[in-house]
Amino acid sequence: MKDIIVDKPIKRSKLRLKLGKEYFILKRKFEWWRHRHAYSTIDINNNTCCYSHKKHQSVLLRPLKDVDMYLQYNKITNLRLAIEKLNGSIIKPNQRFSIWQKVGRPSKKRGFLEGLSLHNGQIGKDIGGGLCQLGNLIYWIVLHSDLTIMERWRHSFDVFPDINRTIPFACGATLSYNYVDLQLINKTNTTYRLNLWLDDKYLHGELLANIPLTHHYQILETDHRIEQQWWGGYTRHNKIWQRKTHLIDNHVEEKLISENHAIMMYTPFIASNES
């Protein structure tokens, strides 16, 4: 298999990053306004979507190396505030769903706290940090459906070694207000509902629809490998596929979801080929 060349990250000044960020925020707000009638709505009392299509949960508190636990407790507050704006989203045919379009800009005034954030692969903290866990969960659920991903940003860095991983590497969706978003569009004739909630241990999500499930969905990983780059660092690569099996005739369809490349921020353990 041919090696994939990944260039060393370019460091840019804080001023350039800030100005660029505000420009893209304004550009995205204009896009929201232009398509303001195309987005999903919240309807907690809508009971038409009564068929469960996919559930998932993720642990709220994970001890991570060099990360203060208070940031993870703050993350729970941030998740709760975001869920208030997203729970009960009804995605009708031809409608779009956007996390940031509903959640809005995290701020202290709105009650958001400092949480874990990543900047160019370095661990930091920011107001509203930790919401990537929400993006990861929604993305994983949606992969088990016929909803179409309009926008999804992969994590450019692999920061933490795999610990009790339950889903393939690179099945997440990073978030940064507001132009690094997870956006979906419903190109089917089915209406979907997204339920989100917290308990003492987990972030929960469930995708429901107004018709029973007709297919079984599997998310598969292929071509996983780790490579050393010319500049000395290591990179991690894989491909993610969706396998869709009809529940009546067992007809199988497969499609490539994403090809992922991430710079590793830790030294991997690579088994020797020598006996």
Closest alpha carbon to 111 in 155, 81, 67: 81
Structure tokens at 52: 């469960």
Which residues share a beta bridge with 238?
Answer: 260
Tell me the pairing of strands 183-185 and 96-98.
antiparallel
Q: State how far the alpha carbon of 143 is from the alpha carbons of 148, 239, 244, 257, in Å.
A: 9, 14, 10, 8
Q: Output the DSSP codes for 157-208.
A: EE-S--SS--S-TT-----BTTTB--EEE--SS--EEEEEEE-SSEEEEEEE
Query: Rounded to 5 degrees, what are φ and ψ at 4?
Result: -100, 125
CB within 8 Å of 218: residues ≥ 6 apart: 242, 243, 245
Closest alpha carbon to 246 in 208, 210, 218, 206: 218
pLDDT in tens, the chain (275 residues): 566 666 655 666 667 667 778 899 999 999 999 999 999 999 999 999 999 999 999 999 987 777 788 999 999 999 999 999 999 999 999 999 999 999 999 999 999 999 988 777 678 899 999 999 999 999 999 999 999 999 999 878 887 777 767 889 889 999 999 889 999 999 999 999 999 999 999 999 999 999 999 999 999 999 999 998 988 889 999 999 999 999 999 999 999 999 999 998 888 865 544 44
Going through 78-113 in order, the beta strands assigned E by DSSP cover 89-91, 96-98
Closest alpha carbon to 170 in 76, 97, 235, 215: 235
Measured between its terminal Cα atoms, the distance across the chain in Å is 23
Output the pLDDT for position 272.
47
Amino acid letter for position 45: N
Q: State how far the alpha carbon of 84 is from the alpha carbons of 15, 39, 73, 141, in Å.
A: 33, 17, 18, 19
**Can you tell me the distance from the alpha carbon of 245 to that of 253, in angstroms, rounded to the nearest whole number?**
7
**Can you tell me the distance from the alpha carbon of 177 to that of 180, in angstroms, rounded to the nearest whole number?**
6
